[in-house]
Chain A
Amino acid sequence: MGYAVNEKTSATPLALRAEGLTVRAGDFLLDAVDVEVPTGYVVGMVGPNGAGKTTTIKAILGMVGRSSGFVELFGEPASRQAARNAQIGVVLDRPFFSPDWRVASVGTRVGRFYPTWDADRFAGLLREFRLPARTSVGALSRGQGMRLSFAVALCHDPRLLILDEPTGGLDPVARAELVEGLREFMVDENHSVLFSTHITSDLDGLADFIQVLDGGHSTYRGTLDDLHAQFALVQGVGDPGRDALRAVLGLRRARDRFEGMIRVADSHLFGRDAELSAATTDDIVVHLVRAGHDNEKGL
């Protein structure tokens, strides 16, 4: 599937460029995945569980070794972890602090590693996020843990935030709060975000670019707008014809009804009895993934 980026953004400097990331882990293979995060934009990475989102992010962060590929940050090879990590903030699905540490002490413990650490900002964020400073990390709720991770990730003034499934298991209020925080972060034009999630609605109105991963492959990369402009849902009754059916991604049939997704460019193949409708990001991801699985099965 083509990589659609318009001329304007391809000229934008890249905060992150990863090329041909290949990781073998048991039966799983992350197969030559490319990732690009243009400076000043939000890239959402979506796909079902086990698609390779976490492995991709861990390979970018040097947490797992890659058998091939390279990572560039802000135009320079990201070979030295120390230099690389000084400029990025990381939020994962769960906090990575000792459960015995008190919330306020996390700032002291982690902050000493960064010359740019802003202790006042950390204290301010704890208040803003309503985090109990004297409680231990282990006693925090899921949402509080995520807010603490987010606060820690922000206080050394990173240029790039990398988030891996931060919203999993969160209630809608906590999710909205994180997304709001990311919007504030993005007001600075030098900031960029890479955000993986399987809850695609987190990305609506936030992500500028989207990348779909499935089975260790990257199956779509482009702007979210293009994604929506490119695909539509189709459903109808009867037989629309061979060519038309072949154009349907993730085709499902029940009795004489058919439904699936098509490229808008293929809409002429369908007669007036077929009904076209706009697809949500979720619809598109589901059908792209389904189409990939159908291809594998040789349907």
Chain B
Amino acid sequence: MIHFLALDLHGLVGRRMRLLAVAAMLIFFGIDMGPAFAIPLAAVACVLIASDLFLMDERGRLDILYATLPVGRTTVVLGRYTTVLLEFLVAAVIGNTVAMLDVDFGRAPLGPGMLVMMNVVGFVIVAVGLAVQLPAFFALGYTKARFVGLVPPVVIAVAGLSVGRKADILQGLAAIVRGRGVSVPLEAAAVAGCVIVLAASVLAARALYVRRRL
């Protein structure tokens, strides 16, 4: 799988302009919306650009290439999920850095509880977003699945905007976090749930990709 991951990441290098643009957008919104918001936004960006890899597969007929290489389709699926999660890791690091800088400029206080919570929220967004998108892309390829791929980002965007507009909800959320401290069991359960959802998604993607006609 390491070879496939290397191939996938090698392909990412070619997309660095696009990644930079997404990162810039992140920083801008993150600073604008308030403390720690860069973190879930980084996750949203990740979900948005995940389809890119499948677009590149389709453009270069890379599914055919993978089928001629000495790797099985399971390896392709596992490698692709790993690539996307690595992307999230990088995005999370950028998001956290932006959040910290925000704090350093003294614009907003940011407790460890809030930081952890925002990271959990980010992971939930990525896990759910990818769990829905990737099996569709593996089953149908970019063109046929791109509308399916749009569903989670749209849902996230709509939800994010409506929540963002209602400042009182945010304030309430922040109050809960500050008042009661971090609900560790809840966060742990959320993370565990997401891992299970991702695992199920991998299994579904594998079953679908194995059947796909290339």
Direct contact of A and B (CB under 8 A): yes
Interface residues of A (CB under 8 A from B): 25, 58, 61-65, 80-86, 88, 90, 92, 94-101, 105, 108-110, 112-114, 137
**Which residues of A lie under 8 Å from residue B56 when comparing CB positions?**
98, 100
Binds A, one of B24-32, B62-70, B200-208: B62-70
**A82:B10 contact, CB within 8 angstroms:** no
The residue from A63, A65, A98 contacting B67, defined by CB atoms under 8 A apart: A63
User: Do A96 and B64 touch (CB < 8 A)?
Assistant: yes
B192 to chain A, nearest CB (A): 33
Query: Which of B6, B64, B68, B69 has the most C-beta atoms of chain A within 10 angstroms of its own C-beta?
Result: B68
B213 near A96: Cβ-Cβ < 8 Å: no
Main SS at interface, chain A: loop
Closest A residue, CB atoms, query B14: A100
CA distance A99 to B3 in the complex (A): 20
Q: How far is the CA of A23 from the CA of B214 in the complex (A)?
A: 13
- In the complex, which residues of chain A have a beta carbon less than 8 angstroms from the beta carbon of B75? 82
Contact across chains for B71 and A81 when beta carbons are under 8 A apart: yes
Residue contact B72 to A96, C-beta cutoff 8 Å: no
Whether B71 pairs with A82 at a CB distance below 8 angstroms is: yes
A110 contacts B65, C-beta separation under 8 Å? yes
| Residue in A58, A63, A98, A108 whose CB lies within 8 Å of B60 | A98
Q: Are A101 and B60 in contact (CB under 8 A)?
A: yes
Instruction: Determine the residue in chain A with the shortest Cβ distance to B6.
Output: A112
Q: Is B173 an interface residue (CB 8 A)?
A: no
- B10 contacts across to A, CB distance below 8 A: 105, 108-109
Residue contact B7 to A96, C-beta cutoff 8 Å: no
Is the beta-carbon distance between A63 and B70 smaller than 8 angstroms? no
Q: Which of B4, B60, B70, B72 has the most chain A CB atoms inside 10 A of its CB?
A: B70
Give CA–CA (A83, B213) in the complex, Å: 20
Cβ contacts under 8 Å, B62 to chain A: 96-98
Are B65 and A85 in contact, with the CB atoms below 8 A? no
Given the known interface contacts A25-B213, A96-B62, A97-B60, the answer about A85 and B7 at a Cβ–Cβ threshold of 8 Å is no
Within the assembled complex, what's the spacing in Å between the Cα atoms of A88 and B59? Answer: 24
Bound CA span A81–B60, Å: 21
